Structure 1
Amino acid sequence: MNIAEYIDHTLLKPDANLENILQVCTEAQEFGFAAVCIPPFYVNSAFRALESGKQKVQIATVIGFPLGYSSTAAKVEEVKRALEDGADEIDAVINLCAIKSQSWAHVRNDLDSMIMATRMRGKKIKIILETVLLTPEELEQACTILLELKPDFAKTSTGFNGGGATVEVVRQMGELLQHKIAIKASGGIRNAADARAMIEAGATRIGTSSGIAIVKGENGTAAY
């Protein structure tokens, strides 16, 4: 297992500066990570930094992050701008307020609109479920909608709202999604043992800011 190929090398801190982002891009090239996951503000800078690299690294960014309750129109415009700036992958937060209000038609429309905007540009989208805030019934219903809409990935967590990925939730998501949608485990994954456990449970991407520590077999410190 080349664990680096599973990792989205992540830096989403609100005080991240351009120098930090360029360092993340350099590290992703050096270690062969699958992607960098960075704030939308820096997507075009990352695109320019990575476009001439010998090692292909995908650029992922976040939409409606980290709360998910902005309007569908706003989220779609975020998606469009990110793709215009050079993003390859979109990590979009589900509308948790709509879920808690049992407004499932809104949830579906919100997701469908973002997925369509991404697919029209031939790019990939991951839907962040923020599982720590969902009841078992809400998670099941959300996964039912994802099975219908078929995003490229379902992602466990933002890492910003408490909790994070667990082996149990990765397995549960795999079962609910009938193993038809890839899973990204994210939030609190700090070392190689954690990452391998998530992969063995069914995750095919790992979102972490401890990617270098994981590859080196050390312990990272960041929570997302």
Structure 2
Amino acid sequence: MKKYTLDQLSRLIDHTNLSPMASENDMKKLCEEAKSYHFKMVAINQVQSAFCSKELSGTDINVGAAIAFPLGQTSIESKVFETEDAIKNGATEIDYVINITKLKEKDYNYLKSEMEQIVDVCKKNNVVSKVIFENCYLTKEEIKKMAEIALIVKPDFIKTSTGFGTGGATLEDVKLMKEIVGDSVKVKAAGGIRNADTFKAMIAAGAERIGCSAGIPIIESLKAEMELNKVDFIEI
């Protein structure tokens, strides 16, 4: 088990608003909340990169752009361009969705090339890369295969879900992903994480980043737990 202060717990959270109807006011609110709670990142649609970058200027909160979101069904060239454009507009983290059709077709060379090209752009620009598997559509063998490819390519994170599929993160999948990549690649859990107990369980299972829109109630709940127990940390 590891001890976490409240701020360390906040820094595990990617504060998320990926609504297609999110306005500039919604984005402003998201960024203000991220600053207030010291979240690690705001997770946004790519088109919001420039706005959020400006709102978060001078802070240590990252701007995370979702690429080929949420289906992942665009060409490698399109994903690379979208990644480069997001970075040009201030994105400091990239979460891209794999081409699930290619995985179903067992076209592993394509998936490796896709990952290599996007991760390469990120590394050249000192930007964090995350690969979204969308596990709800995958078999356990497909999850393992993608994790094995990631072990070769070395993105910063592999990620369970978009939150827009038929299911979100599960403890079983987080454990499986962590089992394959070990400490070589980090795991991000996202989708359906709405309370402190689930948050803690995902961390215990091996997730080192949590994507959710419920970051504020989760942190408030953890703060109340610490105050009740009169401690300055939580063990997970």
Instruction: Give TM-score scaled by structure 1 length.
Output: 0.94
Query: Higher relative contact order by CA 8 Å / sep ≥ 6: 1 or 2?
Result: 2
Equivalent-residue separation in structure 1 for 2:58 and 2:114 (angstroms)? 35
Moved over 3 A (4+): none
Q: CA RMSD in A?
A: 1.1
CA deviations 1:151-204 (Å, max 9, x no partner) are 000000001011111111111110011332111100000011111110111111
1:133 is the counterpart of 2:130:
no
Correspondence for 1:27 among 33, 42, 45: 33
| Structure index of larger Rg | 2
- Partner of 2:210, secondary structure, is strand
- Partner of 1:217, secondary structure, is helix
1:74 is the counterpart of 2:78:
yes
Equivalent-residue separation in structure 2 for 1:207 and 1:128 (angstroms)? 11
Partner of residue 225, structure 2: none
Equivalent-residue separation in structure 2 for 1:92 and 1:52 (angstroms)? 26
Correspondence for 1:191 among 181, 190, 195: 195
Equivalent-residue separation in structure 2 for 1:107 and 1:183 (angstroms)? 18
Query: Following superposition of structure 1 onto structure 2, how do residues 43-82 of structure 1 map, counting pairs within 5 Å?
Result: 43-53=49-59, 56-82=60-86
Partner of residue 214, structure 1: 218
Partner of residue 221, structure 1: none
Equivalent-residue separation in structure 1 for 2:175 and 2:144 (angstroms)? 13
Offset at residue 52 of structure 1 (A): 3.1
Equivalent-residue separation in structure 1 for 2:161 and 2:168 (angstroms)? 6
1:12 is the counterpart of 2:18:
yes
Whether the 8 Å contact between 2:192 and 2:212 is mirrored in structure 1 is yes
Partner of residue 112, structure 1: 116
Partner of residue 84, structure 1: 88
Partner of residue 40, structure 1: 46
Using the aligned pairs only, state the percent identity: 38
Offset at residue 141 of structure 1 (A): 1.1
* Structure 1: stretches of 5+ with no match in the other structure: 219-224
Query: Following superposition of structure 1 onto structure 2, how do residues 169-208 of structure 1 map, counting pairs within 5 Å?
Result: 169-208=173-212
